[in-house]
Homo-oligomer: A and B are copies of this chain.
Amino acid sequence: MSGVDIYALAKRLWPINRSITGDGVRETLRIIKEQLPTLLIHELPSGTPVFDWNIPKEWRVRDAYIIAPCGTKFCEFKKNNLHLVGYSTPVRATLSLSDLKKNLYTLPDQPNAIPYITSYYEERWGFCLKHEDFLKLVDGKYEIFIDSELFDGSLTYGELFIPGELKDEVFLSTYVCHPSMANNELSGPCVTTFIAKELLKKNRKYSYRIVFVPETIGSIAYLSQNIDQLKSKVIAGFNVSCVGDNRAYSYLPSRCGSTLSDLVAKHVLRNIDPSYSIYSWGDRGSDESQYCAPGVDLPIASIMRTKYGQFPEYHTSLDDLFSVVTPPGLEGGFEALWRAIEALEQHCFPKVTVFCEPQLGKRGLYPTLSTKSGNPEVRLMTDLITWSDGHRSLIEIADLCSCPVWDLYPIMEKLGEHGLIKAT
């Protein structure tokens, strides 16, 4: 998989104004459906109760800007959709600078960044701008123009089911509610799209259920519709977010911390990048909070590049497709997730079929001359055999052998052909 292809999809999705509802989400899912034709698109009406929440009104925005006393337009939504506070109500007004300022948001510590601000559950309006531009504003009358609507519409999400040999499911979730930001969050839906494409090319042991939802309300809505199904079928899964920059690998556990997903994620990341960052459940901040909530308790962990909240560009206009997210960054994110999926597919408890060491020599698998020095390949084979007691998983065995689990796949295959090992 080349990161260039994933990057191309990210560039195409970049300008769309995504939020937790609205046409931006629909357009995003439509483009993803071009890549994944079996993607189903669901609509949940505003007001639908979902656990402790209700689906909010849908937000539509056509245009928004401010005209300065000198007549120049700024904070133009059409130039950068971060300029408008998410879910801003419609406004047409003329305000003094001091009144306007009550509705302006900046980041004094990052004067060249437009902050990302939303107000989903309290009706208000506002504009976001660079602090360096904010400082240049002069006294006078400002014309505010926000052509938006909050109305009874629906919340939109996508769902893709890829059947496998087993009914047991691997669950992937990513979110499509962020406007023009790159690592958090165009990287998640883009990498997930290509993971799905790759899965569709092969035979799979497990079935895969992949959702593209708005964060928090979307995952809560999805869970409220599917919780029993998910609890009975999902054996592992990942929340896919922040998988696009090339600066780090990160792991955030499930709430339980020791699910199969955790085991796999830690093994894969340790073997890809021993210096990967290990976060705790206390550092959570995305949909894993819902999937692993008490009583929900799905086995969902997170494999990331640099985690949300941990990079300076986070939730600002600086989180872009130029200096933050790159093709190698996306490719690394894809690679880590794919290694994890492979490890799930290969997950088993190997069991040797004979008592004592098998005689590998008569099968051509062992050197016939016994000398002082050993052979690392043969050693790895005998190590795999000695741990194959039917009680240790292949991943645990890889850890015991101090090697990545993928080094064991060809040996498992060879020993299986000779009838010496069974994958129980």
Contact = CB atoms under 8 A, between A and B. Distances in A.
Interface string A381-424: 01100111110000000001110000000000000000000000
Contact of A356 (B51, B119, B284, B383): B51
A96 interface: no
A184 to B, nearest CB: 11
B105 A293 contact: no
A372 B362 CA distance: 65
A361 B118 contact: no
Given A51-B356, A52-B358, A289-B356, 12 more contacts: A52-B359, A53-B356, A53-B359, A105-B371, A117-B369, A119-B370, A121-B368, A227-B355, A293-B386, A294-B386, A296-B356, A297-B389
Nearest to A400: B282
A161 interface: no
A255 interface: yes
A380 to B, nearest CB: 10
A293 B356 contact: yes
The 9 closest A-B pairs by CB, nearest first: A122-B368, A294-B389, A52-B354, A315-B372, A52-B358, A290-B356, A220-B356, A118-B370, A51-B355
A118 B367 CA distance: 11
Nearest to A372: B315
A316 B372 contact: yes
Interface in A347-367: 351-352, 354-359, 361-362
Given A255-B386, A293-B386, A389-B295, A52 B356 contact: yes
B361 A295 contact: no
A351 B294 contact: yes
A225 to B, nearest CB: 12
Interface residues of A, number: 61
Contacts of A117: 369-371
A388 B51 CA distance: 17
B122 A371 contact: no
13 contacts: A52-B354, A52-B357, A119-B370, A121-B362, A121-B368, A124-B368, A281-B386, A281-B400, A284-B386, A293-B357, A294-B352, A295-B389, A315-B372
A282 B368 CA distance: 22
Interface string A150-161: 000000000000
Most B CB contacts (10 A, CB to CB) among A122, A368, A370, A390 go to A370
A120 interface: yes
A235 interface: no
A175 interface: no
Given A122-B361, A227-B355, A351-B294, A115 B315 contact: no
Nearest to A292: B386
Contacts of A352: 293-295
A314 interface: yes
A224 interface: yes
Contact of A294 (B216, B362, B390, B400): B390
